[in-house]
Structure 1
Amino acid sequence: MRYVTPAWRLWAEKHRSQLGQVVFFMDDDLFDLRAHAGLPLRYRWKLYRQAWQHQAWFKKMGAQLWVSTPWLAEKYAGWQPTVLQPQSPYSGLGSGLSVQKTLFYHGSASHKSEFEWLYPVFEQVLSQEPTLSVELIGNSKVRNRFAALPRVHVLHPMKWPAYQALLARPGRTIGLAPLLDNGFNAARAPTKFFDITQAGAVGIYADHPVYRPLVRHEHNGLLLPMKQQVWVDAILRLSKDDSTREMIRENAKKISHA
């Protein structure tokens, strides 16, 4: 543990006889208040409250001290600390996790309903396919809404030149363009087709009057009804089918660059 809370202390004291070993791991200089000078006051208070003030308690509990650097080991040599050598957190990951495919939805404040509609879609897809990550554009409400899901990255809204540069960077696999049937959406243009194609991705689009004139199903995109399980199945299938993605992508580029 790095930080100690009252609940942790009570639990450890209650079950100390059943614990073979108690270890405090320190990867910053948490026990010297002078080293905290210049840090934000709120962060300094956290270090004091959840680490510094528990030094006597650690010794009472017979805790071992593990540290992240020889510098810390020398400074706190009286505790006879163990230095943990740094290791890559990425070693040992399967090949499926080493190369991620990016599934993205670049919505705006006017797409609140679509964000909500996509939540269970992402939830299922991410739980079933570890090679997929999700990229969203949204505000703090979007970030908080999707915080519980793994491998979701939320980018801040940006100005048009920055967004153009973002789309020009490679690495995106599948772009999503859901569209719920309401009065506001009826007036939209199919601009997401061009955004998704510019990003080098294959698009999955709502089977909606906005996209029907432009998207031919399984030719230059997928045109799907707004049924969440249908989208989940299509995303999973498309993510595994490299040849189909390449064919659809090339057909979409011919229209986008015409």
Structure 2
Amino acid sequence: MRRRGHAPIPTVDIYVRYAVGDLIRDWPWQRGRPVVPAGRTGFRCGDALVIVRYADPATLRSARSAREVFYLLDDDLWALDADAGLPEYYRRRLARFRDEVLPGILDVATAIVTPSQAILDRLKPIPGALLAPCLPAPRLAPPRGGLSEPARIVIPATGSHAEDVGMIAASIRSVVARRPDVVVTTFLGDRAPAELAGLPNVRNERQSAWPGYRRRLAEDCYDIALAPARDTAFNRARSTSKILDVAQLRAAGLYSAREPYAGVIRHGEDGLLLPDDPDAWAEAILSLVEDRARARDLALAGQETALRIGDPARVRTFWMERLGPVRPA
């Protein structure tokens, strides 16, 4: 059942709802819940207001009566140059939001909440705090116990990552040419790199809305997950959400050897950190296809890391300390 006529939004879920959903009054009869939705991406608790990324005019008007306004932003909107590696339609949309809407939000914000130190630095002198996203629950389904035939590889990327995936498209072509029993799944649909189109064992599934993707994270299981990221300021300011996605998909994670992954993943222990070299990616993938036991060990260790950095209790404590002495019904 849809809450108050609003579809779920990923940023709202991973930074707020997964942690304090039991405190949010989505329906009038939930009178014991002290956190009240304010528009699609806002939450009010007493005289404090949380705005997640966007804000409609009504939310902005109500912000002027709030004691504190916490504004959560998880994209570096000042790194939208031509080399940001973003689709043009998406880059223009973010730039328009930054230029036309964001100034009004920053005018009322009393504190910034973000996963990125770069974003905090951009928004000085507004005080701020770092907050990483969280998992939907403090537990994860384990990886498969035995071999899966064929080996299943997933690229859990949305359209904004299409150029990042393009960086390793040659790697994937090499892998499926050498191991035609491997099945690779992307969620990019017609936004997938041209090099991955028409290959019989590469499935470029249509990108689903957040509710569908959220179900896949909970239900699907893969052996290997690929998370490439080009060397751009925009990518370096991203959150660790992809590490959490890989853990939920129960896969061994292969990541670009840069932030936000390099500061969290320990190469060879809970994932692999790889250079911008298609041959290195191909060899790493093939090594795990051949050694599925190692892939499972990496997946298990990756899940332990995800549970540590993505513990909903940590995010809950963060908000409870800032919103006041709130209690569930």
Q: Name the TM tier (shorter chain).
A: 0.5 to 0.7
Counterpart of 2:225 in structure 1 is 175
1:225 to 262, 275, 278: 275
CA distance in 1, matches of 2:162, 2:191: 10
Query: Does the Cα contact within 8 Å between 1:205 and 1:223 map onto a contact in 2?
Result: yes
CA 1:169–1:209: 2 relative to 1, 3 Å:
same
In the TM superposition, what is the alpha-carbon distance from 1:194 to its structure 2 partner?
A: 0.8
The structure with more radius of gyration: 1
1:100 to 147, 150, 158: 150
CA distance in 2, matches of 1:151, 1:139: 14
Counterpart of 1:10 in structure 2 is none
How do 1:93-242 and structure 2 match up within 5 A? 99-142=149-192, 146-242=196-292
- The share of aligned pairs that are identical, in percent, is 27
- Greater relative CO, 1 or 2 (CA 8 Å, sep 6+): 2
- Other structure's SS at 1:231 match: helix
More helix by share: 1
Query: Does the Cα contact within 8 Å between 2:162 and 2:193 map onto a contact in 1?
Result: no
Number of residue-to-residue matches in the alignment: 161
- Other structure's SS at 1:200 match: coil
- Other structure's SS at 1:172 match: coil
CA distance in 2, matches of 1:143, 1:180: 14
CA distance in 2, matches of 1:144, 1:215: 30
In the TM superposition, what is the alpha-carbon distance from 1:219 to its structure 2 partner?
A: 0.5
Q: Which runs of 5+ in 1 are unaligned?
A: 1-97
CA distance in 2, matches of 1:112, 1:159: 16
CA distance in 1, matches of 2:296, 2:157: 25
In the TM superposition, what is the alpha-carbon distance from 1:195 to its structure 2 partner?
A: 0.4
Q: Which runs of 5+ in 2 are unaligned?
A: 1-147, 309-329
Query: Does the Cα contact within 8 Å between 2:270 and 2:299 map onto a contact in 1?
Result: yes
- Other structure's SS at 1:205 match: strand
In the TM superposition, what is the alpha-carbon distance from 1:106 to its structure 2 partner?
A: 2.1
Query: Does the Cα contact within 8 Å between 2:170 and 2:195 map onto a contact in 1?
Result: no
Matched residue type, 1:110:
S
In the TM superposition, what is the alpha-carbon distance from 1:141 to its structure 2 partner?
A: 3.6
- 1:198-222 Cα offsets, whole Å, 9 max, x none, are 1010000000021112100111000
